[in-house]
């Protein structure tokens, strides 16, 4: 196993920037909203914050409810089922968070 910190940093950064095109599109869209209607910036950031909070809570709900069925520890069909289960729980939490006024 290679534990070189430089390789770890570049791998971690590369993994997070895998869909950099979507991140760039999001930043451009946010810039256009700020340029056209600056008053909407606070509302947009509030919505992003609620969505991110829903993702965080959903992930931890899954970890608390299924401590021995984490997707990275399983194989085959069980791994696929655990990934789908986690996705459904996270999506449900995001929808619940976004619906909060």
* pLDDT tens-digit readout, 4-21: 655 665 666 666 677 788
pLDDT of res. 64: 92
Helix (H) or strand (E) holding 93: helix 77-99
Whole-prediction pTM: 0.69
pLDDT for position 50: 92
25 CB neighbour count, 10 Å cutoff: 11
pLDDT of residue 34: 86
Return the pLDDT at 23: 81
* Residue 33, Cβ density class (10 Å: 0-12 exposed, 13-18 middle, ≥19 buried): middle
* C-alpha span between 40 and 30 (Å, rounded): 10
Measured N-to-C along each axis, helices 40-65 and 77-99 cross at an angle, to the nearest 10 degrees, of: 140
What is the predicted pLDDT for the residue at 4?
60
Q: Which residues of the chain have pLDDT under 50?
A: none
């Amino acid at each position: 196993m290679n534990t070189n910190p430089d390789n770890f940093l570049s791998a971690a950064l590369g993994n997070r920037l895998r869909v950099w095109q979507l991140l760039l599109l999001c930043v451009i869209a946010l810039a256009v909203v700020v340029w056209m209607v600056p008053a909407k910036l606070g509302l947009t950031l509030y919505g992003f914050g609620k969505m991110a909070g829903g993702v965080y809570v959903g992930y931890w709900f899954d970890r608390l409810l299924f401590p021995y069925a984490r997707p990275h520890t399983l194989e085959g069909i069980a791994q696929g089922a655990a990934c789908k289960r986690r996705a459904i729980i996270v999506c449900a939490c995001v929808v619940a968070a976004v619906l909060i006024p």
